Structure 1
Amino acid sequence: MMLDNDAGSTIFLEDLEIGMKRDLSKLITDEDIEKFAEVSTDRNPVHLDDEYAKETMFQGRIAHGMLTAGLISAVIGEQLPGHGTVYLGQTLKFMAPVRPGDIVYVEVEVAEIDHKKRRVKLFTQAKIGETVVLRGEANVLAPSRKLD
């Protein structure tokens, strides 16, 4: 289940403003983790095997960090700036685990805009309740109404 605001849109470079934000929330399911393991080929048992995961520092199964990071990509590609955005880079700091059954809230905020180069820096974070589980910065090439 995804709950989002303004999904499937484009905010052109000319309309972006510092402080503009978009977000989404997603319930992380066992199926999500299994599908991500299949697609990524990351079958680490900490994600898939209850018995194994109980003996780790996490004391239970956790979602792949990049599954959570993928939700940031969803906000950037679908909402802010949205369709036509080109991802140039992303930093990520994983701060806490995400478990099956958690609802992850992802927020992306415009931090800097370089109109001449069409580049935008975005602050990115993911939370479960009040706990920040992932934080970083993305650099993107924003879609523009003007032809190059």
Structure 2
Amino acid sequence: MLDNQPRGTIVIEDLEVGMVRSLTKEVTTRDIELFAEVSTDRNPVHLDDAYAADTIFAGRIAHGMLTAGLVSAVIGEQLPGHGTVYLGQSLKFLAPVRPGDVVTAEVEVLEIDYAKRRVTLDTRCLVDGKPVLKGQASVLAPSAKFD
């Protein structure tokens, strides 16, 4: 399940404070296994039901950075989109994401420095309307002047 808004680019000249873009994706067991393979983070809390059952989470959870990757997808594909350069990201993990959870990643424009092409974004992920991740990103937005 993947519900995307249109992909592409919003150049710095067209950005406005308050713009929001999002995507919604079900996090699957396969996603978690693939992330473990790519990242080499094979912590059993992500992969082993028996092990994870005895943790504070009482079951398997997705990697936090897998969830954060959905924020990256919104930034790189929608807001600002193609050509965006990530400069920094703060993250706070508020609740676990489990296999089968449907995550909505949202990005909102907070501040724009048009002269430097720098944009500050509020970033968040929600499951059932409840925040599981929040943070801020700083990006260099593409410009129509530099195509």
Q: TM-score range by the shorter chain?
A: over 0.9
Residue 143 of structure 2 aligns to a residue whose secondary structure is coil
Return the TM-score normalized by structure 1: 0.98
Runs of 4+ off more than 4 Å = none
Structure 2 residue aligned with 1:3? 3
Letter in 1 for 2:80: P
Structure 2 residue aligned with 1:25? 24
RMSD, aligned CA: 1.0
Structure 1 residue aligned with 2:75? 76
Structure 1 residue aligned with 2:59? 60
1:43-122 mapped onto 2 (5 Å cutoff): 43-122=42-121
Return the TM-score normalized by structure 2: 0.98
CA–CA distance in structure 2, aligned partners of residues 104 and 145 of structure 1: 32
CA–CA distance in structure 1, aligned partners of residues 132 and 19 of structure 2: 22
| Identical residues among aligned pairs (%) | 68
Structure 1 residue aligned with 2:124? 125
CA–CA distance in structure 1, aligned partners of residues 12 and 89 of structure 2: 19
TM-superposition CA deviations, 1:107-136 (whole Å, max 9, x none): 000000001110000000000012100000
Return the offset for 1:147.
Answer: 3.4
Number of equivalences: 147
Letter in 1 for 2:16: E
CA–CA distance in structure 1, aligned partners of residues 80 and 120 of structure 2: 11
Residue 146 of structure 2 aligns to a residue whose secondary structure is coil
CA–CA distance in structure 1, aligned partners of residues 139 and 146 of structure 2: 17
Structure 1 segments unaligned to the other structure (5+ residues): none
Residue 145 of structure 2 aligns to a residue whose secondary structure is coil
Residue 37 of structure 1 aligns to a residue whose secondary structure is helix
CA–CA distance in structure 2, aligned partners of residues 118 and 129 of structure 1: 34
CA–CA distance in structure 2, aligned partners of residues 135 and 122 of structure 1: 11
Structure 1 residue aligned with 2:137? 138
Residue 59 of structure 1 aligns to a residue whose secondary structure is coil
Residue 17 of structure 1 aligns to a residue whose secondary structure is coil
Structure 2 segments unaligned to the other structure (5+ residues): none
